[in-house]
Chains A and B, each alone.
Chain A
C-alpha cells in the first residue's frame, strides 16, 4: 500500500446544481507533503470535504488506505479518526465555551476518558503554546490564537492525514510563520499533510507534490518544480510564478547559473546554485 488517500472519478455537485468537482483522480502518498492549489472557486475546499467524508460524491469514490470510504455513520467516524481537517476560517471551527472544551471536543467524541483527554490537551497545548489560553472563552482570542486553537482541536486527535484549508488565511506575518512552522513539524513527524494555499513561494518551498484544480477539474498532478517551471500551465490555471523561480530564470538568462541546474525551492538553494 503506497497511497494513503486516493480518489477515482470523483464528481460532486451542490444542491443548486453547480458542479464543484468533475472526474477528479488524485493519489496522495503516505507522509507526502501535498499542496492543492487553484484560483477561488476551483473546488479545493469541496475536495477537502470529500476527503473527510463530509461531502458525499454523486459519482466516483474516495479510498483511504486502499479501502473505499463507507458512508455509514460508523464508517465515517472511523475515517474521521484518521483524516483531520482544519478549516480556512477558525471561527467556523471553534464553538465551545472555552479553549479547553473546544480542544477536548474531538477526543471525547473518539471515546477518550476525561483524564486521557486532559493529558493529550496538556501535550498539544505545550506544543502549540496554548497553555495560558486553555481556560479563556473562545471569543476572547485573537485571530492567530484562534487559528492555533483550531489546529490544536484537530492535531490532538492525532490523525494520520491532516488537511489544512489555506492555513495562512486571516493571519499576520508572525502568525503565518508560526502556522507554517507547525505544518513543517507535522511533516517531520511523518504525518501526511495536505494544504491549499495561494502563497506560491510557500508551496514551492514546502510541497513535494502539487495538485492544480481549475473549475473542479485536475489540470496538473505532479512534482512541484515541474509545475512552477511550466509558465503556460501557470497562466492557464491562473497562478503566479514564485519569486525564487523568477530569479532563477533571470539568472539562467544572464548566464550566472547553468541552464540544466535543478530549480531551487528557496533562497538557500538559490544561493548554493550561485556559489
Chain B
C-alpha cells in the first residue's frame, strides 16, 4: 500500500535526500534529548505533512491512520507501560504489589518518567519513519543509498529483495488458494502439512524465479552492475530551510524543557 500512496502525492517530487535527511535528523534529535515536548512537536509536524500532502490527496485517511499510527502507537504504549514497572525489595512508590517473599512489583515516579520519555521518543521516531515511507518510493530510497555511497552490492540486494517480497508473497498466496481448494484447512494436521508443503514449494519456486530473472537481466546486457536512472527532483532551498528550522525548533524545545 505504501507504494500506491507513494506514487501519487506531491511531496514525492522533493529530493529524497532532503526528506531522508530531515527524517533522520528529527529521529536523532528526539533520541538524543528524549524530551516529551520536543517529541510531541516532531510528531505534530510529521503528521501535519502526512495529512496535508498524502492523506488528503489520496483519500486514505482511515486506512492510513489505522495502519501507520494506531497499531504501532498501541504497541509502543504497551511496551512503555511495562517499562514503568520495577521489581524491588522495599515496596515504595506510587503503586506497589507484593509478588514474592520480600519482593514487590512497584511503579515509582522515575519509572513513569522513563516510560513517558520512551513512549514519546518512540512515537516521534515512528512518525518520522512513517513520513519517510509514505513520501519516498523505494527507487528514491535507492537514490539516497547511492548518494551516501552505500556499497553497490547492498543497493542491488535491496532492490532485488524488495521485488522478491512481492513475487514470494504472490506465489505463497497462489499455493495457499490452491491448497484451500483441496481441503488443506480441514484439520490441524492437514493445516501444518499444507504449510510445510507451501514453504518448501515457495523456496524451490523462488530459486527458479531467480534463475529466470537473472537470465532476463543477462539478455538486457547485464554485466554485473545494476545501473539506475537518475530522476530529476525538486531540490529547492526552501525545503532544506524548512527541515533545518524544524530540527532547530525541536532541539530548542528540548533544551528549554531540560533546563526548566
The interface of chain A, by Cβ under 8 A from chain B, is: 49, 52, 54, 73, 76-77, 80-81, 84-85, 87, 89, 91-93, 95-98, 100-101, 104-106, 108-110, 114, 117-118, 121, 135-140, 153-154, 157
Contacts and interface: CB of A to CB of B under 8 A. Distances in A.
Contacts of A84: 219-220
Given A92-B209, A93-B216, A101 B139 contact: yes
Contact of A105 (B138, B160, B220): B220
A105 B223 CA distance: 11
A92 B166 contact: no
Interface string B191-216: 00000000000000000010011011
28 contacts: A73-B223, A80-B219, A80-B221, A84-B220, A89-B212, A91-B170, A92-B212, A92-B215, A92-B216, A95-B159, A96-B139, A96-B163, A97-B159, A97-B162, A98-B137, A100-B229, A104-B229, A105-B220, A105-B222, A105-B227, A106-B220, A109-B221, A109-B227, A114-B230, A135-B137, A136-B7, A139-B3, A140-B7
Contacts of A105: 217, 220, 222, 226-227
Nearest to B220: A106
Interface of B: 3-4, 6-7, 12, 137-139, 142, 159-160, 162-163, 166-167, 170, 209, 212-213, 215-223, 226-231
Given A80-B218, A95-B159, A108-B228, A137 B3 contact: yes
Nearest to B231: A100
Nearest to B2: A137
A110 B218 CA distance: 12
A52 B219 contact: yes
Contacts of A81: 221
Contacts of A73: 223
A104 B230 CA distance: 10
Contacts of A106: 220-221
Contacts of B227: 104-105, 108-109
Contacts of B4: 137, 140
B223 A109 contact: yes
Given A87-B215, A108-B228, A109-B227, 12 more contacts: A80-B218, A81-B221, A84-B220, A87-B216, A97-B159, A97-B162, A97-B163, A105-B222, A118-B229, A135-B12, A140-B3, A154-B219
A101 B3 contact: no
Given A101-B228, A104-B229, A109-B223, A137 B216 contact: no
B229 A101 contact: yes
Contacts, number: 101
A87 B212 contact: yes
Contact of A154 (B138, B220, B226): B220
A106 B142 CA distance: 18
A187 to B, nearest CB: 21
A73 B139 CA distance: 28
B116 to A, nearest CB: 39
Contacts of A76: 218
Contacts of A80: 218-221
Contacts of A138: 163
Contacts of B220: 80, 84, 105-106, 109, 153-154, 157
A136 B139 CA distance: 10
B223 to A, nearest CB: 6
Contacts of B228: 101, 104, 108
A73 B224 CA distance: 11
A54 B219 contact: yes
A95 B3 CA distance: 15
A125 B7 CA distance: 17
Nearest to A73: B223
Contacts of B162: 97
A105 B215 CA distance: 14
Contacts of B212: 87, 89, 92
Nearest to B212: A92
Given A95-B159, A96-B159, A137 B229 contact: no
Nearest to A121: B229
A95 B166 contact: no
B167 to A, nearest CB: 7
A95 B213 contact: yes
Given A73-B223, A135-B7, A140-B4, A95 B216 contact: yes
